[in-house]
Amino acid sequence: MTNPNTAMAETRFIETAGIRYAYRRLGVPGGTPLLCLQHFTGTLDNWDPAIIDALAEDREVLLFENAGVGQSGGDVPGSIAGMAKHAIQFLDALGVAKVHILGYSLGGFLAQDIALARPALVERMVITGSAPQGGAGAGMDRPELVAIYTDATMAPADKLRHLFFPDTAAGAAAAAAFVGRLATRRAPADLPAGPHVAPTQLQAMIDWANWRGDVAGKLATITQPVLVTNGSNDTMIPTENSFTLAKYLPNATLIIYPNAGHGALFQYAEGYVAHVRTFLHGA
């Protein structure tokens, strides 16, 4: 039986280790599920239906909400390793023994640490708009970005437009289409990220970016096949980080979308889905 699409998928809950996690389960059960890990302050409602519904046509998709975000209980973890631990606990509670991961932005940080903490759990990964630990600018704490995060007068949709899309006619059109797709949710909405989420997640990202360990050495130990994608001009997590991931991950494929930024996956949703689907099928 096929589960509902993003517009109607119910928010489910599972409790383990004293934490109640919120999640949504879509698509076709059986096979290896795709775990989707969200961006900075993102909730279950921030996943693009054009991507999730399309990927769910031939696989099971799990949308996961980390501790302290949206309707998940507990405190927001103060480190990327802590966030990765919660994701693993969630999968263990569901009884998932093998998973594919789509990690977007902050979610891509988690994907790397999950693959290292539990290699046998992860079969393939898609890392989109993200960076390795120690990556230049990966903390997203530059003043021009913080000004947008903290602007209480700017509507969430406008923040997405400024942060994810280029300041071009094509970028504006893609932003409007993306925001429109997010508004198609018909089942009860998720809770927005509370005021404690942004500062805690941002500090965890800053700490991740400020790591001074062996970047190439760490990436070399992630042996799963990885698809790395980004826009040609990501102003949130600089695109150079995607090149670093592709250079040092031993089994990586890199795709860069032209005239796009951090939201390249939304701007090129149809092509992105095709690339991800081909990759996850092992081609």
DSSP state of 96: -
Q: Is the per-residue pLDDT at 1 higher than 80? A: no
pLDDT band per the 50, 70, 90 thresholds, residue 283: low
- Is position 4 within any domain? no
Tell me if 6 is assigned to some domain. Answer: no
Q: What is the CATH number of the domain that holds 195?
A: 3.40.50.1820
Residue 95, in any domain of the structure? yes
Residue 140 has pLDDT above 60, yes or no: yes
Structure tokens at 263: 């939201």
Predicted confidence band of residue 257 (pLDDT cuts 50, 70, 90): very high
Name the token pair of 167. 């300041």
Q: Give domain status of residue 246, yes or no.
A: yes
Written as one string, the DSSP assignment of 54-87 is HHTTSSEEEEEE-TTSTT--SPPPSSHHHHHHHH
Percent of the chain residues past pLDDT 70, beyond the cut: 99
Cα distances (Å, whole numbers) of residue 213 to 97, 144, 208, 217, 223: 30, 28, 10, 9, 19
**For range 6-14, the mean pLDDT:** 97
Backbone angles phi, psi at 19, to 5 degrees: -120, 130
DSSP strand pairing (60-65 vs 99-104): unpaired
Predicted confidence at residue 4, as pLDDT, reads 84
Residues 104-124: pLDDT tens digits? 999 999 999 999 999 999 999
- Asked if residues 65 and 76 have their Cβ atoms less than 8 Å apart, the reply is no
Show the domain range for 194. Answer: 12-280
Of all residues in the chain, the percent with pLDDT exceeding 90 is 96
Count the Cβ atoms, other than its own, within 10 Å of residue 58: 12
The reported pTM is: 0.97
Q: Note the pLDDT of residue 2.
A: 63
CA 81 → CA 66, 208, 264, distances in Å? Answer: 12, 10, 26
> Coil, strand or helix: which one is 169?
helix
For the stretch 16-39, pLDDT in tens is: 999 999 999 999 998 999 999 999
Q: Is residue 254 part of a domain?
A: yes
Q: How many domains does the chain have?
A: 1
- Confidence tier at 192 by pLDDT (50, 70, 90): very high
CB atoms inside a 10 Å sphere around CB 183: 10
pLDDT band of residue 7 (cuts 50, 70, 90) is very high
Residue 1 lies in a domain: no
Check residue 195 and give its pLDDT. 94
Say whether pLDDT at 153 is over 70. Answer: yes
Tokens of 95: 């009884």
